[in-house]
Amino acid sequence: MSLLTKPGPKTKPGAIGWLALAKWVAIAVVSLAVVVLLAKWMRSLEPVQDFLLSYPGQSELPNGAPVGLPAWLGWQHFLNAFFLILIIRSGWQVRNTARPKGYWTRKNAGLFKTRNKPTKISLDLWFHLSLDVLWLLNGLVFVVLLFATGGWVRIVPTSWDIFPNAFSAALQYASLDWPIENGWVNYNALQLLSYFAVVFLAAPLAAITGVRMSPAWPKGNAALDRAYPIEVARKIHFPVMLFFAAFVAVHIALVLSTGMLRNLNHMYGGRDDASWLGFGVFAFSLAVMVAAWFLARPIFLRPIAGLMGKVSR
Ligand code: HEM
Ligand code: HEM
């Protein structure tokens, strides 16, 4: 065999790679600086100042909107984060594991007895789908309670001025003179729109694309498959995960940088002050999530999967 046909060593990021990275970092820093300067200049203009007075960055809530974050929301929010982190981990494993460490086949009996034979799936996908069911149930309870208590007006736009207000909030963030935070009473327009997008757009999109790829999708129905091709679902599902990851990163960064103790007390302490209670509960909940992340291995998952079906190698 000639030298030319031999598979070469895998390329490592060399000097060129680092140079390209440095170039992109420099471009990002310069672009950010330009945005900040531009926003500061805009805010010095009189018409823009008038605009900011008319649209301060948050829309008024309808009369009778509830004030404060109830305890049930804290629980829901924790469970949502807990499941989501494991959903991302297991989805990543489904995507990147060439030889799964185990398989799972549903028991075809009782309530879930079907005419078709159950599909054998990897243990990673079993874990992903089981978490999805729990996450969706938690989400369903959240939406029902949100509407039953009237809390929905805090995360669903109720007036068109949400858009100029979102622009106003964006301008304030970009000029580094951030909008006033008062999440206990009302979120700013950008915050409201992102919460709305996560709950009412991204979560349903993850579910309808996920179900299309899952064994729950009816088999052997050509018309249905043609109307909603699996490739479409596959192309959307992964970017939805990226959206969730980006949302969580920005969300946590803002929670920590805009009055951390007060914000954490809102969600984890059910109170609006700057004591350390919320921080303590948050730290404990973080420890629970980290522990679950490390325990989510085949050695612990296999016995649980075994209760719900047949586990094989
Ligand atoms: C574990 C890290 C997280 C922390 C520390 C955190 C913290 C918070 C805090 C403090 C608030 C209230 C904001 C305020 O009062 O100004 C909040 C609200 C919210 N968070 Fe998170 N969060 C986390 C993860 C997540 C995740 C993973 C999601 C969803 C993917 C999420 C979605 C939301 C939503 C939708 C609200 C608004 C809830 C409502 O008022 O109905 N959070 N979060
Ligand atoms: C809520 C219902 C959901 C269902 C029913 C579902 C179902 C599925 C299924 C069946 C697969 C396997 C696809 C295949 O075999 O190629 C998959 C992959 C994956 N899921 Fe989900 N999923 C859901 C939610 C989520 C959420 C919320 C996230 C992340 C935020 C997520 C992240 C992923 C990732 C990253 C993959 C790998 C995608 C790839 O290979 O390109 N899933 N999901």
Residue with tokens 């050695």: 299
Residue 101 lies inside a defined structural domain of this protein: yes
Ligand 1 pocket, CB under 6 A: 73, 77, 80-81, 84, 151, 154-155, 183-184, 195, 198-199, 244, 247-248, 251-252, 255, 263-264, 266-267, 282
Burial class (CB in 10 A: 0-12, 13-18, 19+), 306: exposed
Alpha-carbon distance of 140 to 86, in angstroms, equals 19
Residue 51 lies inside a defined structural domain of this protein: no
Burial class (CB in 10 A: 0-12, 13-18, 19+), 296: middle
Which residue has a Cα nearest atom 2 of ligand 1? Answer: 252
Q: Tokens standing for 117? A: 């034979």
Nearest-atom index, ligand 2, CA of 136:
1
Q: Tokens standing for 296? A: 């989510």
Alpha-carbon distance of 198 to 155, in angstroms, equals 10
Alpha-carbon distance of 300 to 303, in angstroms, equals 6
Residue 26 lies inside a defined structural domain of this protein: no
Alpha-carbon distance of 223 to 55, in angstroms, equals 50
Q: Choose among 133, 154, 145, 135: nearest CA to 72.
A: 145
Substitution candidate for ligand 1 out of 83, 199, 267, 285 with most atoms within 8 A of CB: 267
- Are 135 and 83 in contact by the 8 Å Cβ rule? The answer is yes
SS3 1: coil
Residue 99 lies inside a defined structural domain of this protein: yes
Measured over the CA atoms of residue 249, residue 250, residue 253 and residue 259, the dihedral's sign is negative
Task: Report how many domains make up the chain.
Answer: 1
Residue 48 lies inside a defined structural domain of this protein: no
Burial class (CB in 10 A: 0-12, 13-18, 19+), 217: middle
Residue 307 lies inside a defined structural domain of this protein: yes
Instruction: Name the amino acid, one letter, at 226.
Output: R
Query: Could you tell me the distance, in angstroms and rounded to a whole number, from the CA of residue 210 to the centre of ligand 2?
Result: 5
Alpha-carbon distance of 29 to 38, in angstroms, equals 14
Query: Could you tell me the distance, in angstroms and rounded to a whole number, from the CA of residue 294 to the centre of ligand 1?
Result: 23
Residue 170 lies inside a defined structural domain of this protein: no
Residue 108 lies inside a defined structural domain of this protein: yes
Strands (E), the chain: 103-106, 120-122, 309-312
- One pLDDT digit (tens) per residue for the chain, 313 residues: 344 444 545 555 566 789 999 999 999 999 999 999 999 999 999 999 999 999 999 999 999 999 999 999 999 999 999 999 999 999 999 999 999 989 999 998 877 788 888 999 999 999 999 999 999 999 999 999 999 999 999 999 999 999 999 999 999 999 999 988 889 999 999 999 999 999 999 999 999 999 999 999 998 899 999 999 999 999 999 999 999 999 999 999 999 999 999 999 999 999 999 999 999 999 999 999 999 999 999 999 999 999 999 999 8
Q: Which domain does 279 fall in, by range?
A: 68-158+176-312
